[in-house]
Every structure is written in structure tokens, then in C-alpha cells.
Structure 1
Amino acid sequence: MSEKIVVGVTEASSSRRAVEWAVSRATAHRQSIELLSVVGGAVGTIGEGAVLQAAVEATQQHLDGEAERIRRDGLTVTTRVEAGDPVTVLSTASEGAALLVIGSDYRGPGEGPARGSHGIRIVAGAHSPVVVVPDFEIDGERSGVVVGVDGSPVSEAAIAFAAAEADRLGEPLTAVIVWTPIAAPRNSLMVSPQAYRDGMEQNAREALAISLAGLRSRYPGLEIEEAVAEGFPSVIINDLAESARLTVVGSRGHGAVRRFLLGSISHEVLQRLATVTAVVR
């Protein structure tokens, strides 16, 4: 496995937050960091070459400044500037990386529009886990790592990532599974039988227990809380994430086309970031 963390760098304030998160992680795991910026917008217009070259040089200067700022004892930092489409360049750069880290311009509920499709497309197209850092302070009152569980293989990967991060941070891990009953039309008089609801909840509890089997023996000092809730997964996950330091969800993107599509849950979690969020495949 690669020991390199690739960080997508822009001049936005969220980018600096992403860099700081990556530095903390790289220092703890003794990983290297590659700061990568993408100059986009070239269309082949006459005279564009000089403009592009000037943009590349200015971007390189910015990266050099960031690299100098974050270099610590034993931390290897490299820089790279590429011209092209940011989604394609960053997705390609994630191939062979341990982690891709990007910033988000989303600043929380009531602070502007939801995260646009650009960052979501980068996450969906990446080959490695991706950490998305929102543009607000994750204050000291927050604690814990939240992971969404659904019993699928990608969910297992998300649990493994979340447990390792919670153990590294010395924070509790909350593993949440959400069950959603069949939706009836609003004007329907149908009421879900209690036996059906009880069965749904029991199935969820069993799936969660199976998913977490062996985790306590692997991390004997890790505090693990099991949460079973009724509702819609992305809403429940983001509610829990509002007081957490990190949220982890899985992505089901596979194949040449589906790799650029996120599952609805991870997509919706990223649209309204409540904390630093990792998407694992």
C-alpha cells in the first residue's frame, strides 16, 4: 500500500484546512504528502500558451509556499502542478495513493448553498479513500468518529477505516445502522404492523453485530457504541456527525461508468457536510 497522501490544493480557505488535516494524519502515520494543484480552463485559443504558463508558474509559487509552511521534522512534502480538468487529474492522482484529501466550500447549514457536483465527482471518480474537509472549524467540543453501516462489503471497508482512525485519535467510535420501513402514500391509512417494525429493527441489530464482530479484540482500548435508528440514513448520519470529529461512509462506485457515481447516501452526506468526512470504497 502507498504511504503517500495526495492533497488537492487551491487558494480557497477550505484548501488550507484540508492541508492541515492531511499533515496531522501524515505525521501520525509517517506518510508523505504530495500537494497537487490543477490549472484548468485551457481550450486551445491563440495566445493561450503564455497565459497558461503564467498561471502554472504562479500556482507553483503558491504550492512552494504551502510546502515550506508545513514541512516538519521527518515529513516529506512534494509538489506538483498540472493543467487539465481537476476531476480527471485528481482522480488519476489518487490511483496508488493511500488517501486523497480535498477541501469543500460548504460552511454548514444556513451558510450558503450545498456542496456542488465538482467535489462530489472527484470523490466518485477516485481510486483511493477520499477525505473531504468542510470550510469551518472542527472545535474542541466535538469528539468521536461516526461510521455508517449497512452490512455490505464496502461498509466493512468503511468500518475498518473508521476504527483505525478512532484508535489513532483516541476517540470513541459510533457505528450506526439505519432501517427504513416501506413508505406508504401520504393519504394512505395503512399502519406498519408492529411485528414488521420489530423484525426490521432486529435484522438491523443483527447486521450491525456481524459487521462489528472481532473489532473489539482488534482494538481492545477502543470505545465502541452501537446505534440502531429508524429513518433515512444520510439524515441520521449527519445528525450524529454534527458533534463528531470525523464521519466515514462507503461508496459503491465500480466500473468505468459507475465509478463516477456515488451511492445516494454518500452523495447526500457530502452535499451537507457536518464534519470532516471520509468516503471509502
Structure 2
Amino acid sequence: MAHPVVVGVDGSPAALDAVEIAAREAALRGVGLRLVHAFGWPSRHGPPGGPPWHPAAPGVRELLDGTLGEAERRARAAAPRLELAREVTVGEPVTVLEIESRTAALVVVGGRGPSAFGSRLLGSTAVHLVAHAHCPVLVVRGRPDPAGPVLLAVDGSPAARGAVAFAFTEAALRGAELLALHAYTSRTEHPYAAPADPPFVTYDGNRPREEAEHVLAEALAGHRERHPDVAVRHRAVRGRVRATLVEASSEAQLIVVGARGHGGFTGLLLGSVSQAVLHHAHCPVTVVRHDGP
């Protein structure tokens, strides 16, 4: 059975936007879409006539049917023939989504909103979810250019290998161009503006243009042959990594970045490069985790 696309639903406008994008992603892959709503009521605010935290308590079912019903309508409008499933559960949304990611092809979440699926996503919740999810995570934000390329951030590290494969597949599914971008600096420049930035994103930060081109060629090797229908463009850009990626995202429909998993990735995401992409990218961001050494 094909793994579905999972989307977090909380009734916010951002979550509904995420539902539409998730529906299109599921349709492109030919898989189902799973609408997931996690909730809980503190005991002092629990609904009358039923135990708190219980989805069958009076008033809860109506609320959930309204939230999920609107999400389902948005999904159907985006992909009419899509197979849909609902999941209503009690628990922290980030924990629920992490569990759901174990059997998902992709998890999609909104980047803004009033609840845990929304505004908290750009804080510690985002760090946890993209660090520990068992599949790629797509964070919906910005105003993507539907005619723009799939933007791939290339750094030459093993952590980016899964991102390269994902970006090629995504470009093929969308019928879009793939733009592979690698930022580099001269020996007298520092590629980051903050000490928390991870040094391995461009390795030593002193790579000249020729070596930057070599990094791109190595990263793309083999993938072009597996995806001959994908138009590929690569750019080696002299400049700071995060500013270069954020600027390039303004003309993209999706940006794909790779990251190390577990403890190593947590440190990376707290650095300014990943934070800048999640907070300031002009289009949706997909983080593809790598669990290797």
C-alpha cells in the first residue's frame, strides 16, 4: 500500500492553505491524503457533560466535523478524485505528526497560524518536527511562483543527498525546472553572519568558484540520467548562504534543503541558515532529513 501524504489540520487559514498544497502533492504522487487533527482540552476548559480530552464529548464532534469538513472541501477542490482519510486524536500536534510520519510519504504543515500547527511551527515545534520526522516535511509559507523552478540547496555534504533525490523527483512530478544552487565565498570572506551558523554547509567557506562548480557537478551526478525529462540549471553564487537562498526563493515554487537527523540536525536547524529559510523563504520549504553519519 502506497504511503499517503499527511497534513496537519487545525482550522486556521494557514492550515487550509497547507491542505490544498498537500492535496496537490498527493494527486501528483497518486496516493491518498490523510487529514490529521490533534486536540486537547485542559480540564478547566473542558466541555460540559463529558470527560475532557475526549473526542466524543458534546460540542467536540461538531467542532471537529466543521474543521475537518472545511479541510476536506478544500482538498476536494484542489484534487477532486483524491482518496481522503480523517484522523482525529488527542495529543500534542507535533508528537502526533511525528508518529504519522512513520507511514507517510510527506508531511505538510502550515507555516503561520494561531495554534500549535501554525505559529508555534516556526519555533521549537518546527525544530522537533523536521528533526525527528521519518519522512520529508513541507512547510507552507510565502507566495510561490507556480511557473518557477524547484530550488535545490546544494552544499556537497552527505546530508544533502536525500534532498537532491527528492528535488529531482519533485521537479519531475511538477513538470518544473530544477535549479541547483551552491553559495560560496572567497578566502577572505565568511559565508555566515553569526557564530551559530554550521561550518559544514559550505565546508570551509573558502571554496573558489571552480570548486563550487565541482560540488554542483558531483551532487547532480547520476540524477540527470534517472530523470532525463527534468530540465536542470545550476548556479554557483558568490555570497552568504542564507541571503542567497532566501533571495533565490522569491522566484521558486518550492525550495528543498537537506539536513542531518537527530541530535546533529537539531544543532543545524538552530543555526541562522535554516532559521532564515524557514522564516524568510518566499515559497514553501521542504526539509529532507539524512540519518547517516
TM-score (norm 2): 0.78
The structure-2 alpha-carbon separation of the partners of 1:242 and 1:54, relative to structure 1 and needing over 3 Å to count, comes to: farther
- Unmatched 5+ stretches in structure 2: 114-118, 194-203
Which secondary structure state, in structure 2, belongs to the residue aligned with residue 75 of structure 1?
coil
Aligned partner of 2:198 in structure 1 is none
Aligned partner of 1:138 in structure 2 is 144
Aligned partner of 1:3 in structure 2 is 3
- What's the % identity of the aligned pairs? 32
Aligned partner of 2:277 in structure 1 is 269
Q: Distance in 2 between matches of 1:167 and 1:70?
A: 22
Aligned partner of 1:244 in structure 2 is 252
Which secondary structure state, in structure 1, belongs to the residue aligned with residue 102 of structure 2?
coil
Query: Residues 51-130 of structure 1: matches in 2 within 5 Å?
Result: 51-52=52-53, 53-54=57-58, 56-57=60-61, 58-71=63-76, 74-105=81-112, 115-130=122-137
1:207 aligns with 2:215: yes
1:168 aligns with 2:173: yes
- Unmatched 5+ stretches in structure 1: 107-111, 187-195
Aligned partner of 2:242 in structure 1 is 234
Q: Once the 2 structures are TM-superposed, how far is the Cα of residue 13 of structure 1 from its aligned partner?
A: 0.9
Q: Distance in 2 between matches of 1:46 and 1:212?
A: 54
- Tell me if the contact between 1:115 and 1:272 (Cα under 8 Å) persists in the aligned partners: no
Aligned-residue RMSD, C-alpha:
3.1
Aligned partner of 2:152 in structure 1 is 147
Which secondary structure state, in structure 2, belongs to the residue aligned with residue 251 of structure 1?
strand
TM-score (norm 1): 0.81
The structure-2 alpha-carbon separation of the partners of 1:69 and 1:235, relative to structure 1 and needing over 3 Å to count, comes to: closer
The structure-2 alpha-carbon separation of the partners of 1:268 and 1:46, relative to structure 1 and needing over 3 Å to count, comes to: closer
The structure-2 alpha-carbon separation of the partners of 1:47 and 1:167, relative to structure 1 and needing over 3 Å to count, comes to: closer
- Provide, for residues 20-63 of structure 1, a one-character-per-residue CA deviation record: whole Å limited to 9, x for no partner: 11111111211111100111453x55967645435642124421
User: Number of residue pairs matched?
Assistant: 261
The structure-2 alpha-carbon separation of the partners of 1:137 and 1:239, relative to structure 1 and needing over 3 Å to count, comes to: closer
Q: Once the 2 structures are TM-superposed, how far is the Cα of residue 90 of structure 1 from its aligned partner?
A: 1.1
